[in-house]
């Protein structure tokens, strides 16, 4: 299935559509595979110029005007002069998310500093919010660079997101799942990333876009069995069915408003 996914992506990028209507960039993690599968195998793919990148790069391109639509960390939304959430699907969680965690050798109360993963602003802002509001702690924050995971240790913890988290629970004694902690703190689910456009889009295109995503989600039972697991101890079925929640429903929109209010206040 990995080969099939890559084949679909390469076909989309190969130049078969010389005048794409919409430049799209999306996160390349495991949790986006069902959504991307739906887009790349649907008729709407001929209207998309699709690329994949880490979350922070998706956000940068949208802010810079280098993309028309992006699956972006939601913390970037206040930075956009115009932002439209165009889909009923997101990357979210209602409790444990498994791939957005703080790791360390000591309890978080004993961490004097924490590396902040540079891949996602939403996870960084969520870390800051929870340390401020839930744990009421003030550790030093360190901007992470490539290879920083190897420097987590002693009283220095680290926020790690995405596929790089897989297997780290066996390496570090203390693991704090931010989806779970947010749920304890607010009673709400969380939205890590959403499909955002920087201009109004044709309603027919939005309907077709959502239909493609829906069809991708309908193939989830097949995908979670056919995709290769990145680690022998990582259960894809459990991850897709118990940790990632894709519906951008009313509780998640309420959570998004709550989170963006914090982001806005922090920026001000």
Q: Over the stretch 43-93, which tens digit does the pLDDT of each residue have?
A: 999 999 999 999 899 999 999 999 999 999 999 999 998 999 999 999 999
Mean residue pLDDT across the chain: 91
**Tokens read off for 136:** 């009421």
pLDDT at residue number 234: 85
**Tokens read off for 238:** 């459990």
Residues 227, 5: Cα–Cα separation, whole Å: 9
198-205 mean pLDDT: 94
22-51 mean pLDDT: 93
Domains of the chain: 2-92+190-259 (3.40.190.10), 100-186 (3.40.190.10)
Q: How confident is the model at residue 116 (pLDDT cuts 50, 70, 90)?
A: very high
Examine the pLDDT at 216 and tell me if it is beyond 60. Answer: yes
**Cα atoms in the Cβ-side hemisphere of radius 13 Å centred on 186:** 23
pLDDT at residue number 1: 42
pLDDT at residue number 17: 45
Cα angle value 153/190/23 (rounded, 5°):
95
**Tokens read off for 104:** 């360390």
180-208 mean pLDDT: 96
pLDDT digit string, tens, across residues 230-257: 888 788 889 998 999 999 999 999 999 9
DSSP H helix total and E strand total for the chain:
9, 11
Examine the pLDDT at 222 and tell me if it is beyond 90. Answer: no
């Amino acid at each position: 299935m990995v080969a099939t996914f890559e084949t679909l992506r390469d076909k989309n990028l190969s130049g078969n559509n010389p005048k794409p209507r919409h430049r799209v960039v999306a996160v390349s993690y495991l949790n986006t595979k069902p959504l991307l599968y739906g887009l790349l195998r649907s008729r709407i793919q001929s209207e998309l110029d699709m690329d994949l990148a880490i979350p922070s790069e998706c956000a940068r391109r949208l802010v810079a005007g280098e993309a028309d639509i992006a699956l972006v960390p939601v913390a970037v939304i206040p930075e956009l002069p115009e932002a439209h959430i165009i889909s009923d699907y997101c990357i979210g969680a209602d409790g444990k998310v498994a791939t957005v965690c703080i790791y360390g050798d000591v309890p978080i109360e004993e961490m004097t500093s924490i590396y902040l993963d540079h891949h996602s602003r939403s996870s960084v802002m969520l870390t800051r919010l929870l340390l401020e509001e839930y744990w009421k702690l003030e550790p030093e924050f360190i901007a992470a660079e490539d290879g920083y995971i190897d420097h987590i240790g002693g009283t220095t913890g680290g926020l790690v997101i995405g596929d790089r988290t897989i297997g780290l629970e066996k390496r570090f004694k203390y693991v704090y799942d931010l989806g779970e902690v947010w749920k304890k703190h607010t009673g709400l689910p969380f939205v890590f990333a959403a499909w955002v456009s920087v201009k109004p889009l044709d309603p027919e295109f939005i309907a077709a876009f959502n239909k493609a995503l829906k069809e991708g989600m309908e193939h989830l039972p097949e995908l979670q069995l056919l995709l290769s697991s990145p680690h022998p101890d990582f259960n894809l079925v459990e991850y897709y069915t118990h940790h990632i929640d894709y519906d951008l429903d009313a509780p998640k929109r309420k959570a998004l408003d709550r989170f963006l209010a914090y982001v806005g206040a922090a920026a001000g």
